[in-house]
Chain A
Amino acid sequence: MIADNPWIDAVVRMLLVVMLVIVAALILIWLERKVAGRIQMRLGPMVTGPYGLLQSVADAIKLMTKEDLRPASADRWVFELAPFVAFVPSMLVLVSLPFTADLFVRNLDLGLFYIVSVSGLSIVGLLMAGWGSANKYALLGAVRAAAQLISYEIPLVLAILGVAMVAGTLNLVEIVAGQGRVPYIAWQPLGFAIFIIATLAELYRNPFDIPVAESEIVGGPFIEYSGIRWSMFFFAEYINVFALSVLGSLVFLGGWNWPLGNEVGWPLQVVLIFAKTSAMLLMFMWLRVSLPRLRIDQLMSFCWQVLLPFAFLGIIINGFVLVYEWPDVLLGLFSGVAALIAGWAVYRGSRRAVPSQPWSVVPARGIN
């Protein structure tokens, strides 16, 4: 409890978490540009403030003072409401996301379930944006986003479910409390790999940035947005990135617990969770700047033919080991072997002989 009065307590907690996340998102945007710059032999932002630290602030001011354009043919209400519909779920996720053993808004017993269900809501905002913009690129992007997010939700949930089975709870604080000795990544390497891949797809970042593909559909659902509305989408995206990185470090990397234990004070816990989240974020950034983009059909077949079977396999492994009460080491061993098989399957699958093309002239269909 931060304060005695439950109402004041709730408000203070909410303010703390929102401030934390907004600052984190601003820093994240700056960091992403810096990291991308360094990988690409550039300096990144350098002019605004020391090392360009104020770049996010400058961008925010620029975006807020920009004209809020709406295309004449756009569906007015759908177009203007879409950023809010995308923004609110990303904030809702924060309600039950703990940062330390004490720092959370509300420690729900079904916290994991709540986060997974709420984070899928933002797709409605993207669909509204795509439909309301009256732009074909936007519509195509929105439909791609819907297909992608709905598909990848399933392996994501299954990967997290594996941890929930081992931990025996859906309460995030208790899940972290169970990782004092060993983080769950050691018992669930396959689950962690699937979680990372599905998270990348959920956040539509490379190599799964198909809904916003810059070189194909030029920003997808956001193509017609500008100014404050565009920045709301952008901000929601970065809050999602941050929230899912925190979730990954809580569920798989031992959160604030491993390796220092649950009893160290909150400053050390904050440092731990910060370090783990940063590691996740840096990995996302690294992947973003070094991987090409998949195609939508390959993305779908990868989800349904590779990720989903292996996610189920992980659940089955968990089930056997837990029901027959075999030692935990077997859990990690089986899961690790399954992860290696999955990696090998992808390696071999991408190097298959190319199917021969039928060489014939294409008949003209014409427009309509």
Chain B
Amino acid sequence: MVIERELETIDVSFNVGPQHPATHGVFRMVLTVDGELVVDLEPVIGYLHRGAEKLSENCDYRQAIGFQDRTEYLSQFNAEQCYCIAVEKLMGLEVPERAEYIRVILTELNRIASHLMFMGAFSADLGIFGTLFMYAFRERERMQELFEEISGDRMMYSYFRVGGLAWDVPEDFLERTRWVLKETRQGIADIDGLLTQNEILLARSRGIGAMSAEQAIDWGFSGPMLRASGVRHDLRRAEPYSIYDRLEFDIPVGDNGDVYDRYIVRLEEMRQSARIVEQCLDQMPKDGPIVAPGLKRVLRPPAGELYMRTENPRGEYGCYLVSKGADKPYRLKIRSPSFCHLSALRDMIVGHYMADAVIILGSVDIVLCEVDR
């Protein structure tokens, strides 16, 4: 989009962040604006770099799970699952059925929780005075309590293990999860009712920050961002890992790839995740081991390398793992979806108004810890 200027004006550069409510973490973007119109943008990242990849090389395979939580702090189970599957594949481990089901239940619940977080933050970006934020957090809180009961922690779960789970779930897990799911469905309906057909949301978000399917693929988009642009690609379907080949669910796809489509896709994904969890609860074996039998205390995968990717709430989360046969990973590289989405920020925002910059950034649903690692 080439911007034509009618009057001679002076560009002003705005420094948005790192301390700004719209940046969702510690992120900075230098906006060059002509009045309200954004003519250039420079994202600045790196404020949250802690060297999680390098640190993982100094921990053994089990300890490195903790860094996955801290990398992807809104969908911890999903990140743990990706890493654990990577190590399991390297070692050729078979995970027990029950553990697989519990993993999928937790990751899908975590996907809902992450999308709820998106709904809350996105509505705050849009300017709703906290109401939707509270609605979303009411639902998220129930899940957090469930996760806390299972893993003992509210945020850094470290519950998945290579070859299974750390310990079994509580006895009332099935009933609790069913109840949480029922309440969550109502909560999703509340959010839907408050926001989806709102005239102001329609006016604000449709046609904003649009990415065509080709552009989205070129930029390496994945997850809801890619599907909003109309590409029906979901790793759970494209290369089913864990037990996703047994489960029934639809892949919601948008038309225009704009902010509204990203919102709609995430909203529908929550419903699909709830569907998946329900199926898992029905199919789950009531008893059985939760850790692969005959697992040594210290894991020493054979030498080799492997790239494992899973469908996280934000997109394709990948672990590239190199083993030299030692008890520590030789190299762990994390492929973070938010980083790819963020690199397209300039293309999405330039040519829009400053208020749009905020909601486009919100629609990306970034986790800065995952970008900087």
Contacts and interface: CB of A to CB of B under 8 A. Distances in A.
A98 interface: no
Given A215-B126, A350-B202, A363-B2, 7 more contacts: A36-B131, A218-B20, A290-B131, A292-B128, A296-B353, A357-B1, A362-B2
Closest 10 CB pairs of A and B: A293-B127, A292-B126, A354-B207, A350-B199, A40-B134, A362-B350, A350-B202, A357-B210, A289-B129, A295-B355
Q: How large is the interface on A (under 10, 10 to 19, 20 to 34, 35 or more residues)?
A: 35 or more
A206 B129 contact: yes
A362 B347 contact: yes
A137 B36 CA distance: 11
Interface string B122-135: 01111111110111
A215 B124 CA distance: 7
Interface string A328-357: 000000000000000000110011001101
A336 B206 CA distance: 31
A358 B207 CA distance: 11
Contact of A294 (B30, B204, B258): B204
A342 B194 CA distance: 22
A140 B355 CA distance: 12
Interface of B: 1-3, 11-14, 20-22, 30, 32, 36, 39-40, 123-131, 133-135, 138, 194-195, 198-204, 206-207, 210, 212, 214-215, 256, 258, 346-347, 350-351, 353-356, 358
Contacts of A298: 203-204
Nearest to B37: A297
28 contacts: A36-B130, A41-B138, A136-B14, A140-B36, A206-B129, A207-B127, A209-B127, A215-B358, A291-B128, A291-B198, A292-B127, A293-B126, A293-B127, A293-B128, A293-B200, A294-B204, A298-B203, A351-B202, A354-B210, A357-B207, A357-B210, A359-B214, A361-B347, A362-B1, A362-B2, A362-B351, A367-B30, A368-B11
A47 interface: no
A215 B30 CA distance: 16
Contact of A41 (B13, B123, B134, B199): B134
A304 to B, nearest CB: 15
B40 A290 contact: no
A42 interface: yes
B38 to A, nearest CB: 10
Interface string A277-305: 00000000000111111111110000000
A367 B1 contact: no
A215 B21 contact: yes
Given A289-B131, A295-B355, A367 B123 contact: no
A210 interface: yes
A201 to B, nearest CB: 13
Contacts of B134: 40-42
B138 A359 contact: no
Q: Which of A214, A216, A363 has the most CB of B within 10 A?
A: A216
A193 B330 CA distance: 68
A213 B130 CA distance: 13
Contacts of A362: 1-2, 346-347, 350-351
B84 to A, nearest CB: 37
Contacts of A289: 128-131
Contacts of A364: 40
Nearest to B210: A357
Contacts of A358: 1
Contact of A367 (B11, B36, B126, B129): B11
Of the listed residues B1, B3, B256, B346, the one surrounded by the most CB atoms of chain A closer than 10 A to its CB is B1
B321 to A, nearest CB: 35
Contacts of B347: 361-362
Nearest to A210: B355
B355 A347 contact: no
B268 to A, nearest CB: 19
B355 to A, nearest CB: 5
Contacts of B131: 36, 39-40, 289-290
A91 B103 CA distance: 63
Contacts of A207: 127, 200
Nearest to B15: A136
A245 B347 CA distance: 44
Nearest to B199: A350
B207 A360 contact: no
B1 A365 contact: no
Nearest to A364: B40
